C-alpha cells in the first residue's frame, strides 16, 4: 500500500470512500465540504492510501492562528477516511503520519482538527486549549479541538483559530443540537450554551 498525493482523476473514488467511511449518501455533507474546500482553493494537501484502488484519504486546508504579532499559517485536517472493510489495519495511522510530514514540509506551524481525543492523542495531537489555541466556535466540544505542533511552532502562537470560508458555508464547523448537547452532557462540560441540555 502506498500513501501518495491525490490527482484530479482520484476525485470520484475519494468522494465514494469518504461517503462510505462516514456512512453518508454518495452526495452527503462531507462530500459537499470536500468540494467546497477544493473549489475555493482552501485545500493544501490531499493524500490517498492506494492499494490497487483508493482505500483511504486525508485532506488539509488553510487555517490560521490569530496570534498577537501576526496571523500564523496553520492547516485544518478534515476529513480523514478509511473504507469500512479496511479499518483497524493501520491505514488511518499512516495517513496521519504522512499528513503531518507533508504539513511540516509546507512550513505550516500546526495542524488543527476536531475529533476523538482518544484516537488523535496517539497520533501526535494534544488539547489545543492547553496551549491557548482557541476553537473558532463554542459548538466544537473543547476536548475534541486538538493541535499537532510542527517544527516551526513557537510558544507565542496562541489565539483564536480562523477556519476557511468553505467550512462555514457548508456548516461543517463543530456540532449542532441535539448531538452537541448529548456530547456535552456526556463530557459534562459547560460550553456556555444556555439551554443546551433542554434541547436534547
Ligand X SMILES: CC(C)(COP(=O)(O)OP(=O)(O)OC[C@H]1O[C@@H](n2cnc3c(N)ncnc32)[C@H](O)[C@@H]1OP(=O)(O)O)[C@@H](O)C(=O)NCCC(=O)NCCS
Chain residues in the site for ligand X (CB under 6 A): 21-22, 79-82, 87-93, 115-116, 118-119
Question: Smallest distance, Å, CB 183 to ligand X?
Answer: 13
Question: Smallest distance, Å, CB 7 to ligand X?
Answer: 21
Q: Which of 40, 75, 58 has its CA nearest to residue 4? A: 58
Residue 14 CA from chain centroid, whole number: 16
Question: Smallest distance, Å, CB 23 to ligand X?
Answer: 8
Question: Smallest distance, Å, CB 113 to ligand X?
Answer: 7
Between 158 and 170, CB nearer to ligand X: 170
Between 87 and 127, CB nearer to ligand X: 87
Q: What are phi and psi of 81, to 5 degrees?
A: -140, 140
Between 28 and 115, CB nearer to ligand X: 115
Identify whether the C-beta of residue 30 lies closer than 8 Å to the C-beta of residue 172.
yes
State the first-to-last Cα distance of the chain, in angstroms, to the nearest integer: 44
Residues with Cβ within 8 Å of 186's Cβ and at least 6 positions away in sequence, in order, are: none
Identify whether the C-beta of residue 176 lies closer than 8 Å to the C-beta of residue 29.
no
Q: What are phi and psi of 65, to 5 degrees?
A: -105, 125
Between 93 and 152, CB nearer to ligand X: 93
Question: Smallest distance, Å, CB 105 to ligand X?
Answer: 22
Shortest-Cβ-distance residue relative to ligand X: 92
Report CA dihedral (22, 130, 128, 91) to the nearest 10 degrees.
Answer: -50
Between 51 and 66, CB nearer to ligand X: 51
Amino acid at each position: 500500500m502506498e500513501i501518495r498525493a491525490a490527482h484530479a482523476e482520484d476525485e470520484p473514488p475519494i468522494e465514494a470512500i469518504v461517503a462510505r467511511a462516514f456512512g453518508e449518501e454518495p452526495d452527503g455533507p462531507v462530500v459537499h465540504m470536500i468540494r467546497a474546500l477544493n473549489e475555493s482553493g482552501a485545500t493544501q494537501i490531499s493524500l490517498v492510501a492506494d492499494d490497487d484502488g483508493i482505500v483511504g484519504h486525508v485532506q488539509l486546508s488553510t487555517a490560521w492562528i490569530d496570534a498577537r504579532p501576526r496571523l500564523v499559517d496553520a492547516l485544518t485536517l478534515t476529513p480523514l477516511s478509511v473504507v469500512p472493510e479496511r479499518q483497524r489495519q493501520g491505514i488511518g495511522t499512516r495517513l496521519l503520519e504522512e499528513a503531518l510530514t507533508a504539513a511540516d514540509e509546507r512550513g505550516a506551524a500546526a495542524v488543527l482538527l476536531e475529533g476523538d481525543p482518544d484516537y488523535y492523542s496517539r497520533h501526535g495531537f494534544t488539547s489545543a486549549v492547553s496551549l491557548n489555541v482557541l476553537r473558532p466556535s463554542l459548538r466544537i466540544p473543547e476536548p475534541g479541538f486538538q493541535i499537532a505542533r510542527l517544527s516551526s511552532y513557537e510558544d507565542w502562537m496562541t489565539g483564536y483559530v480562523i477556519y476557511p470560508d468553505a467550512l462555514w458555508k457548508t456548516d461543517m464547523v463543530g456540532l449542532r443540537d441535539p448531538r452537541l448537547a448529548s456530547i456535552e452532557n456526556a463530557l459534562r462540560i459547560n460550553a456556555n450554551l444556555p439551554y443546551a441540555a433542554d434541547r436534547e
